[in-house]
Amino acid sequence: MKLSQRITHLTGGGGDGWDVFYRARRMVSEGHAVTELTIGEHDIRTDPSILGAMETSARDGHTGYAMVPGTDMLRDTVAARVQMRSGIPTTRKNVLITPGGQAGLFAAHMAVCDPGDVGLYLDPYYATYPGTIRGAGAIARAVATTAEDAFQPRAESIEAAADGAVSLLINTPNNPTGVVYSRQTLENIADLCKRRDLWLISDEVYDTQVWQGAHLSPRALPGMADQTLVVGSMSKSHAMTGSRCGWIVGPEEVIDHFINLATHTTYGVPGFIQDAASFALNAGTVLEEDIAAPFRRRRALAMDLLAAQNTVGLVPAQGAMYVMLDVRATGLSGEGFANALLDTHSIAVMPGESFGKAAAGHVRVAMTIDDERFASALKTLCEFAATLADCQAAE
């Protein structure tokens, strides 16, 4: 039987760089000790106080269908938080609660792209981006950022790719690069979106993990609240990846359409999860800082280790739970290096190539194991890179 192109072409080939990840997982299942620095999952679990709120809510009976747009309490909490952090007036009518940020990214593209429209995204990119755009029936078009620009996007490059485009998807703090977009970068992007009538879809799921500079939501820039859809999530800020709870913030009339979409797709998010999310967001910044603290510490460890050698380059590590390393001095591709590191030292990192062409010759290291093992793995990685670079120089 025939299947739709929408589903069969969702992942659109490429993505070979995931071989390293699957190989590492196979090695683990066969009993090998592998240091896994691959995916973005905290090494702590959801805080017991949040689980307590979840249990209380479920026992109080919030296990039936919840309101499709989200509970009033969580929508109000998210609106207040967004308003406080961005200065832009925001009410529950600007908020849809979604089963995670990923569902928000999909809904956002469904809302603004017609079949055949172009949805722009920036390379390197979070793995699901092109498939999410294609899933909405649109053509996914990548715009490269460069290591030389420290992966800050250039408005000229986006403009050069903008024919036929209706949307631009950005992500700051960025996965996979760990870069936080500067105010100048975001102002240039906002000007471009206004000039070219592009919806800006702003993925801000790492907004509590900023190590250098400050997070700026482009929705706060002049004139942008009417054409920006912000995607947020409890996953990273509160170590609630498995709870599947996030949101979209945007203009009221778009949220009304999102509610229709949610009615016909997800039918909302469980009430006890939403109550736990409200509790967590109201628990104050200390909890969020505690959850971000291990990454802040390990980022400092990485900076020190990288400063003590000169083979591996460090992309400015400004936010999110990853560091992106430039391993071009070894003469290997990111994929070649990651495979060799796994073979020789049982350390698994993600090849830059799994996040697009622009991250070739790089590897992404997730800071998701305890400090001591993290520092030791990174030291081994640097020593291995130096050996490879020496061999190359001797050839």
Residues of the shown chain interacting with ligand PMP in the complex, contacts defined by CB under 6 A:
40, 100-102, 126, 171, 175, 203, 205, 233, 235, 241, 246
Instruction: Choose between 232 and 330: whose C-beta lies nearer to ligand PMP.
Output: 232
For ligand PMP, the closer of residues 171 and 354 by Cβ is 171
Please state the closest distance from residue 307 (CB atom) to ligand PMP, in A: 27
CB of 122 to ligand PMP, least distance (A): 11
Nearer to ligand PMP, 171 or 227 (CB): 171
Bridge partner residues of 377 (DSSP): none
Nearer to ligand PMP, 102 or 188 (CB): 102
CA distance 395 to 390: 9
8 A C-beta contact, residue 333 and residue 360: yes
- C-alpha distances in angstroms, 181 versus 30, 55, 202, 217, 279? 41, 38, 12, 10, 30
Query: Token digits for 376?
Result: 């030791």
Which among 200, 242, 205, 207 is positioned nearest to 225, based on CA atoms?
A: 200
Tokens standing for 144? 């490269």
Helix then strand then coil, in percent of the chain rounded to 5, is 50, 15, 35
Nearer to ligand PMP, 235 or 339 (CB): 235
H or E stretch at 118: strand 118-123
Residues 6+ apart with CB under 8 A from 205: 101, 171, 231, 232, 233, 235, 236, 237, 246
Question: What residues contact 189, with CB distance under 8 A and at least 6 apart?
Answer: 153, 155, 158, 168, 170, 181, 200, 218
* 8-state DSSP, 230: E
- Minimum CB separation from ligand PMP for residue 100, in Å? 3
Instruction: Compute the least distance from the CB of residue 260 to ligand PMP, in Å.
Output: 21
Cβ proximity to ligand PMP: between 176 and 311 the closer is 176
Say if CB 163 and CB 139 are below 8 A apart: no
Q: Which is nearer to ligand PMP, 102 or 318 (CB)?
A: 102
CA gap 111, 250 in Å, rounded: 11
Q: How far apart, in whole angstroms, are the C-alpha atoms of residue 381 and residue 280?
A: 37
Report the Cα–Cα distance between both ends of the chain, in Å, rounded. Answer: 55
Cα(212)–Cα(259) distance, integer angstroms: 36
Shortest CB 41 distance to ligand PMP, Å: 8
Q: How far is residue 110's CA from residue 267's CA, in Å, rounded to a whole number?
A: 16
Q: Which is nearer to ligand PMP, 350 or 378 (CB)?
A: 350
Cβ 395 to ligand PMP, closest distance in Å?
38
Q: Closest CB to ligand PMP among 246 and 294?
A: 246
Residue 284 CB, nearest distance to ligand PMP (Å)?
21
Phi (first) and psi of residue 386, to 5 degrees: -65, -40
CA dihedral 321, 327, 328, 334 (to 10 degrees): -70
User: Is the sign of the CA dihedral 380, 385, 390, 395 positive or negative?
Assistant: positive
Least Å distance, CB 331 to ligand PMP, is 30
Query: Least distance to ligand PMP from the beta carbon of 82, Å?
Result: 16
Closer to ligand PMP at the Cβ: 100 or 316? 100
CB of 241 to ligand PMP, least distance (A): 5
Lookup: tokens for 170: 């950005």
Q: Which is nearer to ligand PMP, 83 or 128 (CB)?
A: 128
Q: How far is the CB of 365 from ligand PMP (least distance, A)?
A: 15
